[in-house]
Amino acid sequence: MTVVGTWNIENFFKPGGDFGPKDKAAYDAKLAGLAATIRTSGADVLAVEEVGDPDALAELAGRLDGEWSHTTSAIFDEKHPIRVGFLSRLPLEVIADRAPFPRPLAPIQAGDDGGTADRMGRGALAVRVTEADGRKLDLVAVHLKSKLLSFPPAPGGHHSRFQPRDEGERARVAAYALYRRAAEAVTARALADELLAGEGRSRQVIVMGDLNDEPESATTQILLGPPGSELGTPGADRPDKGDGSRLWNLAPRIPEGERFSRVFHQRHELIDHLLVSHALVGRALDVHTLRAQDGGLPSVTDDPADRRDDPASDHAMVFTRLAA
């Protein structure tokens, strides 16, 4: 059995600076809480999102039992340098770190000033992991553009706003975020296409991470590839020519009472996902979410700074136990 998961570990920085906990005590509490949850999950390899400081990830690896390796994407927004990465106690090698939108997809509008974006804000990191029996797993960690909107600084200001000037600005910025999230999904799908190469019946591939959208959203559907065979639909058990390129979202296999990974304004939502190739559909039968050790998830607001010193993540881990 191999346990594979994804977890947004929420603004994981060392103490101080613009984003990290204000003191070492708060940082140590977060390290302890993250390590305890990872141990409880039994994870062998874990995609992580919102790694602000690779040195913090190294410290987290050191808190886990046994020998763990770690790696992070080199692609991130310097203004808020969070990135994706992996923790693994299985042999691991990096095979891709991708950001540019695949052509002929054009750059998208990114703001009221007419500026454009032609790449992901946070790189999609692909690694190859060797299971204990020698089988290979190709894993892609992604963190798509947030649904939490931030607005340009006010005149003379230096920090982003979390409240719009008016509802027109809110609508426009939401559209820019949606453009970007969709283009990032296309980019991640292109990387998945390379790894699958039409051989998904035999190649073990998982695209996973914080997609910032729920299972039925357009961006999540882009990642699935050929439609019509989602788990829980009549086509799920009918082999067809799309199976070599298709990804299956494991969300329907999460027990209903666990089927959420964040609480936003008191609303439960599943925005963290595991998407597997055909070769893994029959192995990934046991799928769960896991919250931090206090047992609950906080209801978050539009301002992430509110949780700067909190010891646990605002997301649940999503993981699967791959049968032998």
Report which of residues 303 and 45 the model is more confident about: 45
The beta-strand segments (E) located in the chain are 2-12, 45-51, 69-72, 83-88, 92-100, 108-109, 116-117, 119-130, 136-143, 205-210, 248-249, 262-264, 267-269, 272-276, 286-290, 299-300, 317-322
**pLDDT above 90 coverage of the chain, percent:** 80
Q: How far is CA 158 from CA 114, 145, 153, in A?
A: 20, 21, 6
- pLDDT tens, position by position, 162-216: 888 899 999 999 999 999 999 999 999 999 999 999 999 999 999 999 999 999 9
Which structural domain range is residue 187 located in? 2-322
Q: Encoding tokens for residue 110?
A: 């990114």
Report which of residues 49 and 18 the model is more confident about: 49
Domain count within the chain: 1
CA 242 – CA 218 distance, rounded (Å): 19
213 and 219 Cβ atoms separated by less than 8 Å = yes
CATH number for position 53:
3.60.10.10
Name the 3-class secondary structure at 302. Answer: coil
CA 48 – CA 70 distance, rounded (Å): 10
CA 321 – CA 134 distance, rounded (Å): 17
- Helix and strand numbers (H, E) in the chain are 5, 17
Cα Rg, the chain, nearest whole Å: 19
Q: Which of 117-121, 158-162, 302-306, 308-312 has the lowest mean pLDDT?
A: 302-306
- pLDDT tens, position by position, 51-91: 999 999 999 999 999 999 999 999 999 888 999 999 999 99
Residue 148 is predicted with a pLDDT of 81
